[in-house]
Amino acid sequence: MEKVRLEIVGLSYSKTQSGAYALVLGEVGGKRSLPIIIGGFEAQAIAIELEKMTPSRPLTHDLFKSFATSFEIKVKEVVIYNLNEGIFYAKLICERDGQVSEIDARTSDAIALGVRFKCPFYTFENILASAGIAMDENDELVADSNDEEAPTTENHLDTLSIEELEEELRMAVEHEDYERASYLRDEISRRSNQPEN
């Protein structure tokens, strides 16, 4: 069965499950996407790596990468190989000294590790056909910091200056509050991209 390559195109609060996130994987060179509901910890682990943030202490996925690297184990790819009763199943394709091994993993953990190893993500056509969503060019899959399901503690960000936001961001990273840090980073980025009056 031919594999279909995927890439991360969005990560946002889930509108269907409280406390969960929607990770959206898009078909490379195509218009279909695969939305996967994941937990907050895994969403945070993925976001931290995508945004090149450095936690003060290694997270679990960082520890796994360091451990694997120390023993010269490379994660070559992540494959989402099954969908059963709404649950996606994934595996890590690993290599050491030319020997390839497959390790079963939760999809969210597999993606969090995959971004750290900068490896490709794949699924199969039958999974994409049954769970994929066709997207047109006008659909946006990125997180919206003004989403009604976002924590209400973030609603005051518009009252802070850029300098105050940067200080809040520094404190959030220092206290390992990466969810808040991502909101602060998004707000700083949004303001930086606004044209000056």
Domain ranges within the chain, ordered by starting residue:
3-134, 152-192
User: Which tokens belong to 85?
Assistant: 């009763």
Query: Residue 123 pLDDT more than 70?
Result: yes
pLDDT given for residue 153 in this prediction = 40
Q: If you average pLDDT over residues 182-187, what whole number do you get?
A: 74
DSSP state of 17: S
Q: Is the pLDDT of residue 124 over 70?
A: yes
Tell me, what's the pLDDT at 175?
A: 67
Rounded to whole angstroms, how far apart are CA atoms 39 and 51?
18
pLDDT at 146 over 60: no
> Please, what sign has the CA dihedral across residues 87, 42, 148, 185?
negative
pLDDT score recorded for residue 29: 93
* pLDDT at residue 82 greater than cutoff 50: yes
What pLDDT is stored for residue 161 in this prediction? 83
State the pTM of this model. Answer: 0.70
> What CA–CA distance (Å, rounded) separates 28 from 126?
16
Bridge partners of residue 89, in order along the sequence: 82, 106
* 3-134: CATH number: 3.10.690.10
CA distances from 36 to 13, 45, 159, 174, 175 (A): 11, 15, 34, 29, 28
